[in-house]
Amino acid sequence: MNSAALVRSDIDLLDVQLYTERREQDAFTALRAAGVPTFHNEPGGPGFFALTRFDHVWAAARDNELFLSGQGTQIADKRAEGKGAPSVHNADPPLHSRLRGFGRSALSRPLLEARRAQVREIIADIVSAVPRGEPFDFVSQVALPIPMTVFGEVLGIPAEDRKMLVDWANIMSSVTATDAEQAAARADLFSYFRELGDSKRRQPGNDVASLLVAPDDHGEVLSQAELDAYFLLLVVAGNETTRFLLAGGLEQLLMQPGSLAQLRQSPALIESAVEEMVRWVTPVIHMRRTLARDCDLFGVPAQAGDKVVLYFSAANRDEATFDGPHQFDVARQPNRHVGFGAGHHFCLGAYLARMEAQLFFELFLEAFQEVELISPGKRLPSHWFAGLESLEVRWS
């Protein structure tokens, strides 16, 4: 393919208002029309290429030799874990492979399936505690407590500490928090998890924290700096992705009464409905990569060190890949979305997030016959995460 001229866009993809006003999909559609990656300015930085087509995002996510994660996955030149050891999220092979092995073992499907009954009981208790027949905020009373409680149990965090950790995690993932606020939250998280790790070494349990601090099958252990980064990543990702999925999924379901009726009539569709919610919401809007060498970037010239941002949210509405991409279809098949990423950095917690969402909607359909959306949710001011800060509903 012959490289085309660089296409610069004046669409500000870093403007949080674009997302709070829910105009980002119009912007992504306009960018896809260019046919090639577009280049965007970055305040205080060199700028970045935006990938908004599904085929481009898919290819880049699966090529970890050209598209590197080790220089950071945020658009800004910083990492959530700071300047210490990188998390699995911000690592390239062979380090990435080593780090991912620990997480893959700790979050394996058999270990999570063994907790299914416990997870269902946790969700049932949270749902049953919500008032009936009066408005309430679904985010604060259901969508936040479910992953906070479930992941707290899975990770091995005492119940009284979980809300505090979620508050710190929210600061770490905020695009509006200052560097000083994030540094303080990071220090608090590191300090907390070092004490937790020491406790798990003395008295190991049947939880992820105990598995992470223990030697693997080859007798290798994670260093303290590697553990710091791992725990920080898990507490952020383990809470926010599921919270945003539950709230955004329920909101859209209630905006389409026909889809809700379809699920009531055919509960077997819950699995495909959850996949459609992942596609529709795409909790993580984008992730950045850095080019390892000069190349033809899907039709435009690019150089080693250039930033390339994979817009998963845009890829999941690509007209060339999905039939009726801007329609929410609980029975959508096939649904090869990238809501959990793709390739070597596919989300380690995807199975748990799917389990939590499927169990919630099973219980939701069983328990409530009348559900009303009082008002559409309020979007989080972020260009990185697609989450709702609040969602007022009433059910009975």
Least confident among 154-163, 229-238, 380-389: 229-238
Tokens of 17: 């208002």
Using the CB atoms, write b or e for 39-50: b if 16+ within 10 Å: bbebeeeeebbb
49-58 pLDDT, tens digit per residue, is: 999 999 999 9
User: How far apart are alpha carbons 91 and 57 in whole angstroms?
Assistant: 19
Task: Indicate whether 1 pLDDT > 50.
Answer: no
Amino acid at 299: G
Structural domains in the chain? 7-395 (1.10.630.10)
179-235 pLDDT, tens digit per residue, is: 999 999 999 999 999 999 999 999 999 999 999 999 988 889 999 999 999 998 888
* Strand, coil or helix: 266: coil
What's the mean per-residue pLDDT of the chain?
94
188-202 pLDDT, tens digit per residue, is: 999 999 999 999 999
Task: Indicate whether 84 pLDDT > 90.
Answer: no
β-sheet bridge partners, residue 296: 301
Q: What percent of the chain has pLDDT over 90?
A: 87
Amino acid at 172: M
What is the reported pTM? Answer: 0.95
Residues 6+ apart with CB under 8 A from 380: 19, 20, 244, 386, 387, 388, 389
Using the CB atoms, write b or e for 24-36: b if 16+ within 10 Å: beebbbebbebeb
pLDDT of res. 237: 85
